[in-house]
Amino acid sequence: MTDYVIVLNAGSSSLKFSLYRRPESKAWEAGARGQIEGIGTSPKFSAKDGSGSPLVDEALDKTVVRDGRGALDALAKWLRATYGGARVLGVGHRVVHGGARFAGPTMVTPQVLSELRKLVPLAPLHQPHNLAAIEAVWERLPGVPQVACFDTSFHRGQPAVAEIVALPRDIRNAGVQRYGFHGLSYEYIASVLPSVAPEMAGGRIIVAHLGSGASMCAMKNLKSIDSTLGFTALDGLCMGTRPGAVDPGVILHLFQGLGLSAKDVESILYKQSGLLGISGVSNDMRALLASTEPDARLAVDYFVYRAAKEIGALTAALGGLDGLVFTAGIGENSPEIRKRICQASEWLGIELDDEANARKASRISSSTSKVPVWMIPTNEELMIARHTGVLLGLIEQRV
């Protein structure tokens, strides 16, 4: 009989899952991984085994899988049918916001859950779904321990000047500060850098996590010293449907000048802006790169412009640059975007090896580049499995 840890990443329209097992004194091994996408519209279930062979790929009944709960029911049914008899040792969750209180992975208790609910307004796209998954697992598997792993934790310990929001003290004391996100991804990259790129691992590095949510992290000695996302996951780079940095005066104007409601403004900022807002066509980088529409081109131009600008700003925060790493959906899969961002950063001495970049090698800078550039696939799920294992006492403290 095999014992598994289940990793869940519950979003608004998808439930991603991975199974991990850890044979005696070995590293974590990925078992099945997959997702239920299109929750609420046209749900579809797909999963592959540890070697990447398809296990299931089917449409689900949309009258049954109407929400996150329905998706979890469908997943539980499939897990029982496929792995009946296996033991679930624990469930690790991606939770986007841990606020000021949770500086590391935490066993979930009713009290922890109620603290995390208070952070829902700071991450309205993700947090409610992350927490709903924890509650749903509690109902179904009441004896199974659950661990919350936060996207904010990796950034705790940044210098005070990187965390501060320059507003009056009362407001800051009520929790208004820069938190940073995508921390599980950055932590994973930091964990592999010493073996993948030892020559730069201890230096001043920028990691660009470019997915539908996008951010950059400035790391010194593998610790976060600054990042482009702040109090919420709206700041910094242009994202799929979020604008990145916007003059706060624009937000005041939306309320006072245009008379929009808080709900409208929230929807504009989280769902209608960024690549989608500029192009008017799509939030998907692939579609924009394939399009000849001027607004689609402008969206891509702006994405690249903002990324290069943030690389400059974070280089200043680091006092120089010893390495640049691309990761996540766009960072891992788009040679064109990597090339354009690197071209815009040539003033830093960055020089791409076009051939290595096109064939998706790991090291993609030329041998004469002053700053080595890498493409490293991220693995947030493995990071969650490791943390869950540590908290459950399944492995030694070394991760």
Q: What is the CB-side half-sphere exposure of residue 20 using CA atoms within 13 A?
A: 25
* Site size toward ligand ADP, by CB under 6 A: 13
Is residue 274 part of the contact set for ligand ADP (CB under 6 A)?
A: no
Question: Closest separation between CB of residue 330 and ligand ADP, Å?
Answer: 4
CB of 214 to ligand ADP, least distance (A): 8
Sketch the per residue contact string, 118 through 137, with ligand ADP: x for CB under 6 A, - otherwise: --------------------
Q: Does 35 bind ligand ADP (CB under 6 A)?
A: no
3-state secondary structure 74-101: HHHHHHHHHHCCCEEEEEEEEECCCCCC
Stretch of residues binding ligand ADP (CB under 6 A), selected from 83-91, 125-133, 205-213, 349-357: 205-213
Task: Provide DSSP, 179-247.
Answer: ----HHHHHHHHHHHHHH-HHHHTSEEEEEEESSSEEEEEEETTEEEEES--SSTTSSS--SS---S--
334 binds ligand ADP (CB under 6 A): yes
**Which residues are 21's β-sheet partners?**
29
- Which of the residues are catalytic? 151
Task: Give me the least distance between CB of 158 and ligand ADP, in Å please.
Answer: 22
From 61-69, 139-147, 298-306, 324-332, give the range in contact with ligand ADP by CB under 6 A.
324-332
Out of 15, 330, 375, 382, point to the residue binding ligand ADP (CB under 6 A). 330
Residue with tokens 């929400």: 67
Q: Which of 208, 328, 376, 395 binds ligand ADP (CB under 6 A)?
A: 328
Q: Which residues contact 169 (CB under 8 A, 6 or more apart)?
A: none
Specify the DSSP class assigned to residue 319. Answer: T
Determine if 211 is a binding residue for ligand ADP (CB under 6 A): yes
**C-beta pairs of 186-191 under 8 Å, 24+ apart in sequence:** 186/154, 186/155, 186/217, 186/219, 186/224, 186/227, 187/153, 187/154, 187/383, 188/378, 188/379, 188/380, 188/382, 188/383, 189/325, 189/327, 189/376, 189/378, 190/154, 190/219, 190/222, 190/223, 191/383, 191/399
Give 14 or 267: the residue with its C-beta nearer to ligand ADP.
14
Binding status of residue 153 toward ligand ADP by CB under 6 A: no
Give the pairing type, strands 54-59 and 29-37.
Answer: unpaired
Supply the minimum distance, in Å, between the C-beta of residue 274 and ligand ADP: 10
Interaction with ligand ADP in 227-256: which residues (CB under 6 A)? 240
Residue facing ligand ADP at closest CB distance: 329
Q: Per rule CB under 6 A, is residue 284 in the interface with ligand ADP?
A: yes
The answer to the question of residue 300 lying near ligand ADP (CB under 6 A) is: no
CB of 341 to ligand ADP, least distance (A): 13
Least distance between ligand ADP and beta carbon 2 (Å) = 28
Which residues sit at the interface with ligand ADP, rule CB under 6 A? Answer: 211-213, 240, 284-286, 289, 328-330, 333-334
